[in-house]
Amino acid sequence: MRFSLRQIEYFIATAECGSITLASERINISQPSISTAISQLEAELGAQLFLRRHAQGLSLTPVGREMLVEAKKLLDNAQRLYLTVSEAMGTVQGNLSLGCLVTFAPMVLPQVSRSFMANYPNSRILPEVTDHETLLRKIERAELDVALTYDLQVPDAFTFTPLAELPPYAMVALTDPLAGQSAVLLEELAERNLILLDLPLSRDYFLGLFAQVGLVPKIAGRLHHQDVIRSMVANRMGYTIANIRPRSSDALDGSPVHKLRIAGDQLPMRLGLLRSASHEPTRLVSAFVDHCTDMISNNYIPGMEPPFMASRRVG
């Protein structure tokens, strides 16, 4: 056998993404390295695995589709070998398929992954960034070992380990008159234009804050991307409600925003770790859970302002 498991991994990523560019972003490997690995794999097997369409990316040939099924089995078996040795020798090693909620992934995922792999050099984080419902499905299908997400509608078949509470706050432009207040009432916000983060389950949480006090907000826009919402808020196109507190007070276009406490006893979101309750955690998964428990709390969340210290500071 003259092909490597790494070539198999690059082939699977490219097949699932449909392009070398997207595969490169997914597994954080340069495009030339992936392209070379696939060419070497095709040469070794003596078969064309992809049809290369310049404008439409890559698609699998019939042989490539059969190869993908077997390649996944091969990679799964290889991973089991690492886990078997790890469990037998009491070491922490192998690949950890880690999911992360898209809304806080840019802040939390890099530092958590880097620090864990620094502590356990024989481990490797394979990240997946998506919405909460997709994380649930992928954990259920054993495509992810564990995920950093919220405790939103977690079924009984899952185990959730809470790490930190994130109270909701209003975000307005720094030039908005509300920015001069120490706190704002939901009644005040309901009269203004809301730019809603329209992701599954998250939107129900935000709208539920108003519904609990008998209010209906004026929704001026529904968007899936926080960075776009932040820039629109910074440009006085409305306000938004969020739980994530980036350390930066600027939108991507450089315009400043202001975080404003919402008066009253608002239900916080809880950031934590989600995994299947039916599978006994491996040593690798247990080590990662312990690592996150030690690292993340109400007083420290990677890339964010500590939520409760921030709440005390704004009164």
As a whole number of angstroms, the distance between CA 262 and CA 182 comes to 9
pLDDT at 56: 64
Residue scoring higher pLDDT (144 or 83): 144
Query: Cα angle at 73 between 68 and 75, to 5 degrees?
Result: 90
φ, ψ for residue 143 (rounded to 5)?
Answer: -85, -20
66-112 residue pLDDT tens: 999 988 888 877 777 766 766 666 677 888 999 999 989 999 999 99
Q: Please give the pLDDT value at position 129.
A: 92
pLDDT band at 21 (very low <50, low <70, confident <90, very high): confident
**Six-digit token pair at 290?**
């312990």
Domains of the chain: 5-73 (1.10.10.10), 92-165+269-313 (3.40.190.10), 168-262 (3.40.190.10)
**What digits encode the pLDDT tens for the residues 200-224?**
888 999 999 999 999 999 999 999 9
